[in-house]
């Protein structure tokens, strides 16, 4: 897709972070923009910001973990604009800690948004795009965590690996069906967003184990796991120094123009080395018929 003017884009998680960055670029491309988000206040702020930029914007309060919400999002989009040409299944939340200490609610929350949200988007919007029979594009947001399973992000990693597999499968199936729908999977490195803060604040009451604030929760966890203090300090510092969401939005649109499948926001040597080491470890295990363990690769 080269020409975006007057076409309709739907962006989940569109009121913050990368989603808002994509929406801003869409406005510059003179698209009709649908932003879906669970945070009503952020949605109102984003709507005002995008309209100041001259955008034609439809905000839709949406919890992507709920299929009926995604179905309502599609219905409102069609009622307002009559079509959808680009779908960005972008809504996502963070989640850290040790796998065996994560509660059932932790699993439900992160899996519901990060993986089921993308599943619902595909289930609802792909049939619409097929019926339109015109040029369309789907961008599913994964992460570098969809290629590298680092410690303390277990549930998040699982969802992001799932989005990569889902996207690869979708790409193959749509090609086999000879459709006009293209697919990309967005795999950001560190982007300067408020994903950690927003994830905690926007967590539904029914999926909270305790009613405490994020600062207290982080402090309590580190008190019982002090050896991970420097790990978390490094993570948050690197996140703050990351790419701007607006730049990430620009990268997404250039990738759509090029019909690129994998979209990486950070192509630095360290990410390449980590992915290469993981792949080499797997290939080496095939060659030598030896078990694949974390000792097979260099861990960053």
Active site residues: 156
Q: What are phi and psi of 181, to 5 degrees?
A: -100, 125
The per-residue b/e assignment along 212-237, b for 16 or more CB within 10 angstroms, e otherwise, is eeeeeeeeeeeeeeeebeeebeebee
d(CA 58, CA 76): 9
Is residue 72 packed enough to be buried (19+ CB in 10 Å), middle (13-18) or exposed (0-12)? middle
CA 8 – CA 5 distance, rounded (Å): 9
- Residue 94 to residue 39: CA distance in whole angstroms: 15
C-alpha pair distances (Å), 94 with each of 58, 66, 121, 154, 288? 26, 18, 19, 10, 37
| Residue the block writes with tokens 């690769």 | 297
- Residue 5 contacts residue 30 (beta carbons within 8 Å): yes
d(CA 182, CA 196): 31
């Amino acid at each position: 897709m080269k020409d975006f003017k007057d076409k309709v884009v739907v962006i989940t998680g569109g009121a913050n972070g990368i989603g808002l960055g994509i929406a801003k670029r869409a406005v510059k491309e003179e698209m009709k923009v649908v932003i879906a988000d669970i945070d009503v206040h952020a949605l109102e702020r984003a709507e005002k910001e995008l309209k100041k930029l001259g955008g034609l914007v439809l905000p839709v309060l949406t919890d992507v973990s709920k299929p009926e919400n995604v179905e309502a999002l599609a219905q409102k989009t069609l009622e307002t604009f009559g079509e959808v040409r680009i779908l960005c299944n972008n809504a996502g939340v963070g989640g850290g800690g040790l796998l065996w200490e994560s509660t059932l609610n932790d699993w439900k929350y992160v899996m519901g948004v990060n993986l089921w949200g993308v599943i619902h988007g595909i289930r609802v919007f792909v049939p619409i795009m097929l019926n339109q029979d015109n040029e369309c594009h789907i961008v599913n947001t994964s992460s570098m965590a969809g290629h590298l399973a680092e410690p303390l992000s277990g549930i998040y990693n699982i969802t992001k690996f799932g989005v990569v597999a889902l996207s690869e499968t979708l790409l193959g199936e749509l090609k086999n069906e000879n459709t006009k729908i293209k697919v990309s999977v967005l795999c950001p490195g560190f982007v300067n967003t408020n994903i950690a803060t927003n994830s905690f604040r926007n967590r539904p009451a029914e999926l909270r184990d305790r009613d405490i604030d994020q600062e207290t929760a982080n402090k309590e966890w580190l008190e019982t796991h002090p050896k991970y203090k420097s790990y978390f300090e490094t993570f948050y510092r690197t996140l703050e120094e990351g790419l701007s969401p607006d730049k990430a939005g620009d990268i997404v649109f250039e990738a759509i123009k090029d019909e690129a499948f994998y979209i990486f926001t950070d192509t630095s040597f360290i990410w390449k080395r980590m992915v290469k080491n993981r792949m080499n470890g797997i290939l080496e295990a095939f060659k030598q018929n030896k078990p694949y363990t974390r000792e097979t690769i260099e861990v960053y």
